[in-house]
Structure 1
Amino acid sequence: MSGGDGGVGSGGVGDAGERSRGAVVVGVQEAAESAPVVRWAAAEAARRAVPLRLVHAEQFPFGADAVGAGWAGELTEQLDREALEGLRELAQLARAAVPGLDVRTELVHDHRRHALLRAAEGACLVVTGPGRCGGALGEVLLGSTSLFLVAHVPCPVAVVRERPAGSEGAGVVVGTDGSCAARAAEHFAAAHARATGQELTVVRAWCAPAAGRHQVRVQALDRVREEAGRGVAETVRRVGEGHPELLVRQVLVQDPSPAAALLAAGAGARLLVLGSRGRGAFASALLGSVSHEVLHRAAGPVVVVPDARRHHPVREPV
C-alpha cells in the first residue's frame, strides 16, 4: 500500500502506474544524501503542478535460519521504522522548500531497481542521485541503479549531482546530432529553459575525416562542417519557432569526442540535457558512449530523454 506519509508495500505490481500517474518520482535512500535530490525534484514537481512521489526500496536478505531464530522480524521492523522516519524527514524538506506541494511517500520491500522501474510507470519524470560507485582518484562514478533507470525507464530521467554552495549554474545546454533521440532532448530542454527563464544552448560536435589523401580530406572536411552547421542551425530555427520567447544560441565545435564537447559547454550550466537511443541489455550499450561518459563526469544535474521507441507523452513545464 502507499501512503501520504510513509506507506509500506510488498513490492507487487499492483497499481504502481496509477500512483505515479503524471508525478515526479524520486528514488531516495538515506535522508542526508537524498536531500539535494529531493529539493531539485520538488522544484520540478511544483513547476509542472504535479505530485512528488518519494520511493524508498529495501530488500531484506534474511534467510531461513534468521527467520527460525526469530530475530529477522524484529530487525525488519527496526529497519522499516528507520526508513519511514527518513521518508518523513524528506517529505517535510520538500514541503518546506515548496509550500503546498502534494508529497507522497512509499516504502517498498523489493530490489531498488525493480521498485523504481514499477514506480516510473506513468510518471512524467524520474529523479535519482548519482549513487556511490567510487572511481580512481576519488572520482564519483554513477551507480548501477542510476544507469539502469536511465537505460530502461520510458520517461525522462534526471541524475542530480549537487553543485558546491553558491554555484547553482545558469542556462540549459542540450546536445544534438539530428537524430530522433536528440529531437526529444531538444523539446525537453527548450520547455525547461522557457519554464525557468534560462537561456538555451544547442551544442553540435563534428569530427574531421581521419583518412584519405589531403585534397579528399579537405573536401570531406568542408562537407562535414557544412552539414553540421546546417543541422545545428535547423535545430535553433525549429526550437525558436516552437518557443519564440526563448533566447537560443548555438555552439558548433570540432571535437572527436561529442561527450567532451557537451561537458565543456555544460560545465557551468544549470541543466545538461541529452538523448538516449538505448534498448539493449547492458547499460553501456543502452546509453551509448556519449550518454555514458556525460552521466559519469557531469558536474551538475543531467536529464536523459529517451527517443520515441521508449518515450511516451509527458506533461511539460509551463
Structure 2
Amino acid sequence: MVTPGRAPIVVGVDPGPSHRRVLAWGADEADRRRVPLRLVHAQGASPAGDRYGHRGGSGLTDDRRGVAEHALLDAAAFVADRHPGLEVSTLLAADDPVPLLRRHARTAAAVVLGSHRLRTREGLFTSASVALPVIADSDCPVVVVRDREQADGSAPHFVVGVDVGMDGRRHSVAAVDHALAEAALHRATVRVLYVWRPPLLGVLDEQAALRESRALLSALVARRRAAHPDVEVRHEVIRGRPAQVLARESAHALGLVVGIRGGPAGVLLGSVVQGVLDRARCPVVAVPRREGRRSPRRRPHAGRAVRRAQRTAVRRVRRLAGFARSWPGTARRGRRSWVRHGGQARRGLAMRRWRRWAGLRW
C-alpha cells in the first residue's frame, strides 16, 4: 500500500546514462502522491581522508565535492523545471551509498535508484552494485528504473509477480497491495501473474497442479482487491521460468512489482528478484513483506510457546552435557553391577532411571 502521511520520495542521485530518467520517475511519483522529494548523493569515503571519512585538503577531494555539488544542483534544477510546485531538498553526504540509503528508507515512502550499474550479470554480485544490498534490508519499496527506453502503445498497466506457495503468500500480499494502490494513482490496470515452474522430476498430473494454482491465485486476488474496487485486475497462471516470464511480460508496463521476503542485512535475495533486475523492460518495484516503520534496535517478540521450547531445549542440553562428563564413571559402575548381579534387569533399571533424570521420554 502507499505509505500515508508526508513521507518523502528519496532519489539516489548518481550521474550516469539513466540520471534524467531516474529523476523524472521520482519527481512524477512525488508530485502524484503530493509528498516531498529528497535528492541524496553519497560521495563515499574520500581517498584523501582518514579511516573515519574526514576530508583532507587535497585538490582531488575538493574536485570530487565540486562535482557532487554540481550534480545535485543540476538535479534540483531539472526537478524544479519539471514540477515547479514540488518541495525538493538535497543532501550531500560523505557516507557510502548503501548505509546512507538504508537509513533514509526507514522514513521514506519509496527509494528510487538507477540501474546502469546492473548492466552485466557480474555487476549484480559486486560491491559496486547498490540496488541489491538496499533492497535486501529496506523498510519501504525500492524502485530500480531501467536505463532503456520504455515502449508505448498499450494501455497503462502494472505487472505483479506473486507466489501462491505457503512461503510466498506474505510478501506476495504486500506486492499486490502496493500495485493496486499505484494503479489507483495512475488510473491503470493490474496484471497479477503466477509463473508455475514444473519440478525437475516432473509431476503426475500437470493439469491438476495448474488448476490448483489458479484457484489459489484467484483467492489471493479476491481478498486484496476489496480496498480498491475501482481498479481493474486480471490474473493468470503461466508455465515457465519466473524471471524470464516476468521480464517478457513487463514490456509496455508502467512497472513490474515483486515482493521480497525480507530478513537481516546481508541476506541473499531470491533468484527471481535478481533475474528481473537484470532482464526487466520497465521499472522494477521491490516491495518488502511488511511496509511500515520498524525500530532498528527492537528485537522480534517470541511467543510463549517458542520461549518454553527454547528453555526446555537448553535444560536438556545441559543435562546431556552433565551426563557426558560423568559417563566414564557411570559406565564402570554399571559394568561392575551388571557382572556382579548378573542380569539385564539391573541394567535396564539403570537406563530407565537415567532417561527419567535426563527428561527423555523415549
Please report the TM-score for the alignment, with normalisation by the length of structure 1: 0.79
Aligned partner of 1:104 in structure 2 is 89
1:176 paired to 2:162: yes
1:296 corresponds to which of 278, 281, 287? 278
1:217 paired to 2:204: yes
Aligned partner of 2:292 in structure 1 is 312
In 1, the alpha carbon distance for the partners of 2:252 and 2:106 equals 32
Q: Deviations along 1:197-227, whole A, 9 cap, x unmatched?
A: 1111000112334437xxx702xx2442122
| Between 263-272 and 39-48, the greater mean CA deviation after superposition | 263-272
Aligned partner of 1:189 in structure 2 is 179
8 A Cα contact 1:31 1:86, kept in partner = no
Aligned pairs for 1:3-18 (under 5 A) are none
2:254 corresponds to which of 249, 270, 293? 270
In 1, the alpha carbon distance for the partners of 2:218 and 2:49 equals 60
8 A Cα contact 2:243 2:275, kept in partner = yes
In 1, the alpha carbon distance for the partners of 2:280 and 2:119 equals 15
8 A Cα contact 2:106 2:293, kept in partner = no
- Pick closer, same or farther for the CA change 1:258–1:134 going to 2, 3 Å: closer
Q: Deviations along 1:1-54, whole A, 9 cap, x unmatched?
A: xxxxxxxxxxxxxxxxxxx97110011122764211011000111111111000
The residue identity in structure 1 corresponding to 2:275 is: E
Higher relative contact order (CA 8 A, sep 6+): 1
Number of equivalenced pairs: 279
Q: Deviations along 1:67-103, whole A, 9 cap, x unmatched?
A: xxx9744432332222112111111111211220001
Structure 2 residue matching 1:144: 3-state secondary structure = coil
In 1, the alpha carbon distance for the partners of 2:216 and 2:248 equals 20
Q: Deviations along 1:239-288, whole A, 9 cap, x unmatched?
A: 43221111111121122x122221122122111000001325546x2x21
The residue identity in structure 2 corresponding to 1:159 is: V
Q: Deviations along 1:96-147, whole A, 9 cap, x unmatched?
A: 11220001001001111122222222111001001424527xx986852111
Aligned pairs for 1:59-208 (under 5 A) are 59=44, 60-62=46-48, 72-135=57-120, 144-164=129-149, 167=152, 170-178=156-164, 179-208=169-198
Shift of 1:183: 0.4
Stretches (4+) displaced over 6 A: none
- Pick closer, same or farther for the CA change 1:237–1:165 going to 2, 3 Å: closer
1:250 paired to 2:235: yes
Shift of 1:303: 0.3
Q: Which runs of 5+ in 2 are unaligned?
A: 295-362
The residue identity in structure 2 corresponding to 1:177 is: D
- Pick closer, same or farther for the CA change 1:21–1:115 going to 2, 3 Å: farther
Larger Rg: 2
Structure 2 residue matching 1:303: 3-state secondary structure = strand
Please report the TM-score for the alignment, with normalisation by the length of structure 2: 0.70
